[in-house]
Structure 1
Amino acid sequence: MDVARYRAHCPTCPWTSRDFSRYGTAENAARAHADEKDHACHVIDQYGLRVTGSTVRPGDSA
């Protein structure tokens, strides 16, 4: 059985996080990058597709 993998991704710069098995961990990585670099980020799945509703903007609360 394949395990879903998630990554945080920034469309503004070439940054993509490592693979995470939990969506929440990838979302936390996206939030950290958004706050650090002032970029909007999102979570992508193992196929490189953006997860609906996963956009994290700088200053968004958890």
Structure 2
Amino acid sequence: MDVARYRAHCPTCPWTSRDFSRYSTAENAARAHADEKNHASHVIDQYGLRVTGSTVRPGEEI
């Protein structure tokens, strides 16, 4: 069985995180990038598709 992979991705710059097996870890990476670079980021799945509802905007609370 293939384990789902998630990555944080920024559509504003060329940054994409490493693969994570847990969605929450990828979301934390997206949040850190959004806050550090002031870019909206989101989580993508193993197929490179944005996960619905995963957009993180700079300064957004959890």
Range into which the TM-score falls when normalised by the shorter chain: over 0.9
Q: Deviations over 1:1-29 (max 9, x none)?
A: 00000000000000000000000000000
TM-score, normalisation: structure 2: 0.99
**Structure 1 residue ranges, 4+ long, deviating more than 4 angstroms after superposition:** none
Structure 2 unaligned spans of 5+? none
Q: Deviations over 1:40-60 (max 9, x none)?
A: 000000000000000000001
Superposition map of 1:23-62 within 5 A: 23-62=23-62
SS of equivalent residue, structure 1 residue 53: coil
Structure 1 unaligned spans of 5+? none
TM-score, normalisation: structure 1: 0.99
Taking the aligned partners of 1:59 and 1:53, their CA distance within structure 2 comes to 17
Aligned residue pairs: how many?
A: 62
Identity of aligned residues (%): 90
Taking the aligned partners of 1:61 and 1:2, their CA distance within structure 2 comes to 32
Taking the aligned partners of 1:29 and 1:18, their CA distance within structure 2 comes to 9
Taking the aligned partners of 1:35 and 1:3, their CA distance within structure 2 comes to 29
